[in-house]
Structure 1
Amino acid sequence: MALSRYNGMQENMPNTFSSMLDRFFNESVNAKNYSGFTPHVDACETEKSYEIEVALPGVKKEDISIDFQEGKLTITGERQLERKEEGRRYHMLETQYGSFSRTFYLPDKVSPDKITAQLEDGVLLVTVPKDEHKTMKRQINISSTNDSKKKVSEGKASDEKVAVNTDNGKAKKS
């Protein structure tokens, strides 16, 4: 009887190196979840607008939808895995596929009717212009209760000046 060391891995170990590679790649590829992904986004603010760049390589513009409602800009779409050949067996698949949705909350000082979107080289650029009337700088004058009392008393004094009657070139108050 020969003694052999037991470490609990013999049942799980493949017999050959080739079967080990097949098992590794098949399990890692099959374990991926293709239900969705989150595209990378760069968002910035300029003096006149907000700009959102979304990395969407391989996505057609027909597969993208952009909605703006109640201050929320939502970009949704889908990147589909296209099987080019039936006999292909992937050993590695790092690209994410599936549907996606990204929502951005914008301030109320934007012009929703002037939002533009452009898809070029797999990058979607959404430009949300700021509303010029809402972002215009205004100087507000501060008044106090004393100022309003002065205006009232000045108004009475000027009324008295207006109510001056003249008789024979002499001024007299009425």
Structure 2
Amino acid sequence: MTLVKRNSDNLFPSLFDNFFSRDWMDWNNSNFSNTNTTLPAVNVRENENEYIIEVAAPGMKKSDFKINLDNNQLNISSEQKEEKEVKEHRYSRKEFCYQSFHRSFQLPIDRVDSTTISAKYEEGILSIHLPKKEEAKPKPSRSISIV
């Protein structure tokens, strides 16, 4: 018979530790956060001629986005600010809305033709087309003769 040593200290490792160690009145952490900050979903795909990045960002305008390329790092960001003030009857209400995101993608070195990158925003999807350099495109197979 083989003896197996079990560490019984970790039977319920986080149930009590996380609950009692959390500062429930710390309004700066995410305990009670109701801000509307999320990262948009992104699809990255590839075909023979290009890489395509699709960012799901409905309800925005193309002028809300900033896209730049810095040392093979593609940066996509957006910032929206809105301020509303409503005065009706004897009530006054002022609301602020702020949303932003920043996504970065490290592009494959020497595979993307950075001079011909293009982007379009259509039906809530920001599509960024990154054409491949000619040497990065797949080559047709060929037979090699044995001498």
Is there any run of 5+ residues in structure 1 with no aligned partner, and where?
Answer: 1-29, 88-95, 142-174
Q: Counterpart in 2 of 1:37?
A: 38
Please state how far the C-alpha of 1:61 moved relative to its aligned partner: 1.3
8 Å contact from structure 2 (residues 65, 77) kept in 1: yes
Please state how far the C-alpha of 1:137 moved relative to its aligned partner: 3.9
Cα separation, partners in 2 of 1:136 and 1:46, compared to 1, 3 Å: closer
Q: Secondary structure at the match of 2:75?
A: strand
Q: Partner amino acid for 2:40?
A: P
The separation in 1 between residues aligned to 2:52 and 2:69, in whole angstroms, is 14
Q: Partner amino acid for 2:117?
A: I
Cα separation, partners in 2 of 1:75 and 1:122, compared to 1, 3 Å: same
Q: Secondary structure at the match of 1:113?
A: helix
Cα RMSD, aligned residues only: 2.9
The separation in 2 between residues aligned to 1:50 and 1:125, in whole angstroms, is 10
Of residues 106, 113, 116 in structure 1, which corresponds to 2:115?
113
8 Å contact from structure 1 (residues 59, 78) kept in 2: no
Q: Partner amino acid for 2:100?
A: S
Identity %: 35
Cα separation, partners in 2 of 1:137 and 1:56, compared to 1, 3 Å: same
Q: Which protein has the bigger strand share? A: 2
TM-score (norm 2): 0.59
8 Å contact from structure 2 (residues 66, 76) kept in 1: yes
TM-score (norm 1): 0.50
Q: Which protein has the bigger helix share? A: 1
Is there any run of 5+ residues in structure 2 with no aligned partner, and where?
Answer: 1-31, 89-96
Q: Secondary structure at the match of 2:66?
A: strand
